[in-house]
């Protein structure tokens, strides 16, 4: 297979490498490392700085930060991926219908989407999370719903653009049904944009999960998630800065990788927007 030029750039290579590494940690760590290594406590080694026994130090309950950050990868990434998937599943049909049908349907749907967009996504997620109660599944729903209006808006724009293209017009005059037009002609043509958007949303979803956990509404202790780890470090910042730095670096690296990967993906799939932010 030919590697698209975009992925031969430093950005593309680095991004792909980071994403692959983080993904394999998320998948392999729970298999290779016993789950209780992330929750095992040692009251004699509380807030220990990095040592040979604990290469990344320990937290306030003497738990090993390296194991916590490795095992936490799965939680953070799973939540983010599931939430983005959910927002696509809801946002895709909404955006497609709105963009394709136009007129009143478009007006009504987009008015609703615009209204929802006036609520900051984190505020929306926070409120939904407060309504549903804090657990893994509800965190996914909260982030998923909060991201939906944004995705719907982007998909609608794409659908609108594609629907006006000559070949779609031609297919329409040839007597194809609406459903056929949408699924066979429009959908495949907007998929590149959707995939690029999904990658970027994934980065945002990881940040959102961290934010929610930071406010106590995401992942539940003693399970490790990066946001939860940063939250727990707050009271020990000046004594033990590594408790914040370790999970913070994990979030930063993952999001950085996803962003670079997303950029490269955009350049490769969607030459029209090459170079755009």
Partner 1 sequence: MSYILNRVFSMMLTLFLISAITFAVTNILPGDVAMMIMGTQSNPEALAGLRETLGLNDPLLVQYGRWIGGMLTGDWGSSLVFKEPIAPLLVQKMTASGLLVLFSMAIALTCAVPLGVWAAVHANRWQDTAASSTAMLGVSLPDFFWGIMLILLFARGLGWLPSSGFVDPAEDLGAAIRHALLPSLALGLGLMAHLTRMTRATMTGILKQEFIRVARAKGLNEGTVVWRYGLANAVGPVMTVAGLQVGYLFGSIIVIESLFNYTGMGWLTYQALLNRDIPLIQASVFVIAAVVMLANLIVDLLYAVVDPRIRLS
Partner 2 sequence: MKRRDFLKTTSALMGGTVLYGLTGPAQAQSEPVRGGTLIWGHSETTQNLDMHQTGTASTGRVLQNVHDSIVTVDQDLNVIPNLAESFEQSEDGLTYTFRLRPGVMFHNGKTLTSADVKYSFDRCRNPDTGAVNFEVFNAVDSIETPDDLTVIVTLTSVNAPFLSRLAENGAGVVMPEGSGDEQGNTPVGCGPFRFVRREFGNEVELERFDDYWGGPAYLDRIIAREITEPTVRLTGLRTGELHMINDIPADRIAEIEGADDLQVVSWFPLNWDFVNFNHEFEPFKNPKVREAFDHMIDKDVLLEGALWGQGAVTASPSYPTSASFNSDLGQRPQDIEKAKALLAEAGYGPNELSVVFKVTTNYPYHVEAAQIMLEWFRMAGVDASIEQLTWSDWLSQVWVDKDFQISMMNFFTLWEPDFLYYSLWNTEGAFNYRKISHPQVDALTAKARVTVDPTERAAIYKDVQQIIHDDTLDVVLWFRNGTIGAQPAVQGLDTIVHPNGSNLRFHKVWLAEA
Q: Site residues (CB under 8 A) for partner 1?
A: 11, 111-112, 114-123, 126-127, 130-131, 133, 203, 207, 210-211, 214-215, 230, 233-234, 237-238, 241, 244, 248, 251-253, 255-256, 259-260, 275-277
Out of partner 2, partner 1, none, which partner does residue 180 contact, by CB within 5 to 8 A per kind?
A: none
CA-CA distance, 70 to 27, in Å (whole number)?
Answer: 10
The answer to whether 157 and 186 are in contact (CB under 8 A) is no
Angle (deg, nearest 10), helices 10-32 and 65-101: 120
Nearer to partner 1, 48 or 254 (CB): 254
* SS3 of residue 58 by DSSP: strand
| CB of 43 vs partner 2, minimal distance in Å | 6
Q: Which is nearer to partner 2, 50 or 221 (CB)?
A: 221
- Cβ 73 to partner 1 shortest distance, Å: 16
Which does residue 222 touch among partner 1, partner 2, none (CB within 5 to 8 A, set by kind)?
A: partner 2
Whole-number minimum distance, CB 84 to partner 1, in Å?
17
Q: Which is nearer to partner 1, 93 or 120 (CB)?
A: 120
Q: How far is the CB of 61 from partner 2 (least distance, A)?
A: 6
Nearer to partner 2, 223 or 270 (CB): 223
Residue 1 interaction partner, one of partner 2, partner 1, none, beta carbon < 5-8 Å per kind: none
For residues 167 and 180, give the distance between their C-alpha atoms in angstroms, rounded to a whole number: 14
| 38 touches, from partner 2, partner 1, none (C-beta below 5 to 8 Å by class) | none
Are the C-beta atoms of residues 50 and 210 closer than 8 Å to each other?
no
Nearer of residues 69 and 228 to partner 2, judged by Cβ:
228
Task: Characterize 238-270 residue by residue with b for buried, 16 or more Cβ atoms within 10 angstroms of its Cβ, and e for exposed.
Answer: eebebbbbbbbebbeebbebbbbbbbbbbbbbb
The two structure tokens encoding residue 239? 């004594």
Q: Radius of gyration of the chain from Cα atoms?
A: 22
Q: Which residues bind partner 2 (CB under 8 A)?
A: 36, 39-41, 43, 60-61, 130, 133-135, 216-217, 220-222, 234-239
C-alpha span between 60 and 43 (Å, rounded): 9
Q: How far is the CB of 217 from partner 1 (least distance, A)?
A: 10
Residue 206's alpha-carbon distances to 12, 88, 192, in angstroms, are 20, 16, 22
Contact 268, 4 (CB under 8 A): yes
């Amino acid at each position: 297979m030919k590697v698209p030029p975009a992925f031969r750039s430093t950005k593309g290579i680095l991004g792909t490498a980071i994403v692959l590494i983080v993904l394999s940690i998320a998948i392999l760590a729970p298999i290779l490392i016993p789950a209780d290594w992330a929750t095992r406590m040692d009251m004699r080694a509380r807030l220990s700085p990095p040592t040979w026994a604990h290469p990344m130090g320990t937290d306030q309950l003497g738990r090993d930060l390296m194991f916590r950050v490795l095992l936490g990868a799965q939680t953070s990434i799973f939540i983010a991926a599931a939430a983005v998937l959910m927002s696509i599943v809801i946002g895709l049909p909404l955006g497609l219908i709105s963009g394709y049908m136009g007129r009143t349907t478009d007006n009504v749907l987009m008015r609703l989407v615009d209204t929802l967009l006036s609520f900051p996504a984190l505020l929306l997620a926070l409120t939904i999370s407060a309504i549903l109660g804090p657990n893994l599944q509800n965190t996914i729903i909260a982030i998923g719903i909060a991201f939906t209006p944004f995705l719907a808006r982007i998909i609608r724009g794409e659908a609108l653009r594609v629907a006006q293209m000559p070949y779609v017009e031609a297919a329409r005059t040839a007597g194809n049904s609406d459903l056929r037009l949408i699924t066979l002609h429009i959908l495949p043509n907007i998929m590149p944009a959707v995939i690029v958007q999904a990658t970027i949303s994934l980065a945002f979803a990881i940040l959102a999960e961290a934010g929610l956990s930071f406010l106590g509404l995401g992942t539940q202790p003693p399970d490790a998630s990066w946001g939860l780890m940063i939250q727990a470090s707050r009271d020990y910042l000046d004594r033990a800065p590594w408790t914040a730095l370790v999970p913070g670096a994990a979030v930063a690296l993952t999001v950085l990788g996803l962003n670079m990967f997303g950029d490269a993906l955009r350049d490769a799939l969607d030459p029209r927007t090459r170079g755009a932010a």
